[in-house]
């Protein structure tokens, strides 16, 4: 296909000591004939032998991407050692994310695909004040609330609460939080996934969705009433449901997305169903952002064995969401 006038998908480098640079390079090699890409980072951190062009603006990427990976360089000041994060890289990682957000907000890039970061390395090296990528992107975009949707061919699932300890979930999960999660998920499915009337199933917080109050009161006290209220407003919702009955084949064909109440309730099923192809999508941003659904994998970084499948799927989905 011709990509001479297309805006590129911007790829932020992520943690230089992790597998981000190598899976980004491999994903570009797999997809370079399909749409243009632009890598943001230190070119010395790419795997040796990666064909690349240094560019000064995103607009140059479209004409170059089919032959070599366009790189908008950012000097990190030090080489990367696979598997060993360098504290001096932390600010560079943060700055490159902000640079990618600026490119998509100003229309220079079609979407942003972020390679994995290592939150502890950013917090210890640069005082990173956010629980994770998602929260930082929301701050950069100037929005109050976003939701993290995990997407594969088998399942779309959203955790209503994300990077918090399990014993904090019941306090953080409020009617306002769940309502906003449902609203943002509904809008994202409608506007970015071309589903005009999204069907959403909602898990209970407690085992067996509280089993009539025997295992918790939240379902009776406010989760079920909220769902009833929102159904009267036109949302196609089902729940609260026992989470252990929501993710088998016969259940999944009945909804377009599931909302879980906390991180592991959402991520365990999608990683079990499709570990390599899961993609992280942030809904509620004024631009498309995707990311592979894996971490930095320091233990295998630089060994040439990291699979780029999730990065490939993240880039493909970003392109699909911006061209639908």
Locate CATH 3.40.718.10 in the chain: 1-143+283-324, 154-273
Q: Which CATH superfamily is domain 1-143+283-324 in?
A: Isopropylmalate Dehydrogenase (3.40.718.10)
Strand order across the 289-292 sheet: 52-54, 69-73, 37-41, 9-12, 111-114, 289-292, 279-283, 147-151, 156-159, 257-260, 199-203, 236-241
**Per the structure block, which two tokens stand in for 292?**
């592979």
Closest among 223, 10, 220 to 110, alpha carbons compared: 10
pLDDT digits 0-9 by tens, 228-247: 999 999 999 999 999 999 99
The CATH class given to the 154-273 domain equals: alpha beta
Supply the pLDDT for residue 77.
87
Supply the pLDDT for residue 296.
96
Distance separating alpha carbons of residues 256 and 86, to the nearest angstrom: 41
Q: Rounded to two decimals, what is the model's pTM?
A: 0.92
Does residue 305 surpass a pLDDT of 90?
yes
pLDDT digits 0-9 by tens, 197-207: 999 999 999 99
Residue 17 · residue 8 · CB < 8 Å = no
Average of per-residue pLDDT across 134-141: 93
Work out the mean pLDDT of the chain and round it to a whole number: 95
Note the helical H segments in 32-118.
61-64, 90-105
Supply the pLDDT for residue 134.
86
Supply the pLDDT for residue 137.
95
| 109 phi and psi angles, rounded to 5 deg | -125, 150
Closest among 157, 100, 88, 162 to 126, alpha carbons compared: 88
Q: How confident is the model at residue 6 (pLDDT cuts 50, 70, 90)?
A: confident
**Per the structure block, which two tokens stand in for 134?**
């998602």
In our burial notation (b when 16+ CB lie closer than 10 A, e otherwise), range 168-181 reads ebeeebeeeebbbb
pLDDT digits 0-9 by tens, 28-77: 999 999 999 999 999 999 999 999 999 999 999 999 999 999 999 999 98
Q: What is the DSSP letter of 290?
A: E
Q: How confident is the model at residue 5 (pLDDT cuts 50, 70, 90)?
A: low
């Amino acid at each position: 296909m011709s990509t001479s006038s297309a805006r590129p998908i911007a790829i932020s480098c992520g943690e230089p000591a992790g597998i981000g640079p190598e899976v980004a390079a491999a994903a570009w090699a797999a997809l370079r004939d399909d749409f243009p890409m632009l890598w943001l980072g230190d070119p010395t951190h790419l795997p040796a032998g990666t064909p690349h062009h240094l560019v000064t603006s995103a607009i140059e990427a479209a004409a170059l991407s089919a032959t070599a990976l366009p790189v908008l360089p950012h000097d990190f000041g030090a080489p990367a050692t696979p598997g060993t994060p360098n504290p001096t890289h932390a600010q560079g990682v943060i700055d490159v994310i902000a640079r990618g957000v600026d490119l998509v907000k100003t229309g220079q890039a079609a979407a942003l695909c972020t390679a994995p970061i290592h939150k502890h390395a950013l917090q210890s090296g640069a005082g990173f004040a956010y629980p994770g990528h998602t929260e930082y992107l929301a701050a950069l975009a100037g929005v109050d609330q976003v939701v993290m949707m995990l997407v594969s061919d088998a399942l779309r699932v959203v955790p209503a609460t994300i990077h918090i300890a399990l014993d904090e979930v019941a306090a953080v999960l409020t009617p306002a939080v769940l309502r906003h999660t449902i609203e943002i998920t509904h809008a994202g499915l409608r506007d970015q996934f071309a589903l005009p009337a999204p069907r959403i199933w909602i898990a209970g917080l407690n085992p067996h969705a509280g089993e009539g109050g025997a295992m918790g009161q939240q379902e009776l006290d406010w989760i079920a009433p909220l769902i009833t209220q929102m159904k009267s407003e036109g949302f196609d919702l089902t729940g609260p449901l026992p989470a252990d009955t929501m993710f088998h084949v016969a259940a999944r064909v009945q909804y377009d997305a599931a909302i879980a109440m906390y991180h592991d309730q959402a991520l365990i099923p999608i990683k079990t169903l499709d570990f390599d192809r899961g993609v992280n999508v942030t809904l509620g941003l004024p631009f498309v952002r995707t990311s592979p659904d894996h971490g930095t994998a320091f233990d295998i970084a630089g060994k040439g064995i990291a699979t780029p499948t999730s990065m490939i799927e993240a880039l493909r989905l970003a392109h699909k969401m911006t061209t639908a």
